[in-house]
């Protein structure tokens, strides 16, 4: 896998907006610009891995419950909207409402949409500590 071109993509807040208290995950709209970019890169041979923390708070990190209750809703939504992916990983640690993910290969959704792959690599290189 090290030689492959791989994108690891979050779902909530990236492919769709963050669900509100009165909303249902199954009816959230798919961000069409993000979907189009993923389709284009997938067609170019990029491997797409979706990684989500959806359900981590609700099911207190119980991956078995998340796979039983959450994953079917996620895969149905992805199929309905035609989002390409090669793998899906549930159980990404949730940093809470006030936490962050810190990683040297991270780009924000808008950066991903508004920059070339070369520019994204430069953003990561610029922000890397070592």
d(CA 63, CA 48) in angstroms, rounded, equals: 21
**Alpha-carbon torsion, ordered 64, 65, 67, 69, to 10 deg:** 160
Query: Measured between alpha carbons, how far is residue 85 from residues 21, 45, 48, 122 in Å?
Result: 28, 11, 5, 25
pLDDT tens by residue, 6-43? 999 999 999 999 999 999 999 999 999 999 999 999 99
Residue 33: name the closest of 5, 14, 61 by CA.
14
Residue-wise pLDDT for 56-103, tens only, equals 999 999 999 999 999 999 999 999 999 999 999 999 998 888 999 999
| pTM of model > 0.85 | yes
Domain range list for the chain: 6-98, 100-130
CATH number of 6-98: 3.40.50.1000
């Amino acid at each position: 896998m090290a030689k492959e071109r791989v994108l690891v993509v979050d779902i909530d807040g990236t492919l769709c907006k963050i669900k509100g208290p009165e909303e249902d995950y199954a009816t959230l709209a798919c961000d069409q610009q993000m979907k189009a970019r993923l389709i284009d890169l997938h067609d170019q041979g990029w491997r797409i891995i979706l990684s989500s923390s959806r359900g981590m708070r609700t099911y207190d990190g119980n991956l078995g419950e998340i796979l039983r209750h959450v994953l079917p809703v996620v895969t149905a939504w992805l199929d309905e909207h035609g989002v390409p992916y090669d793998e899906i990983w549930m159980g990404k640690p949730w940093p809470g409402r006030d936490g962050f993910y810190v990683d040297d290969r991270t780009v924000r959704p808008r950066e991903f949409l508004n920059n070339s792959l070369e520019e994204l690599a430069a953003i990561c290189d610029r922000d890397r500590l070592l």
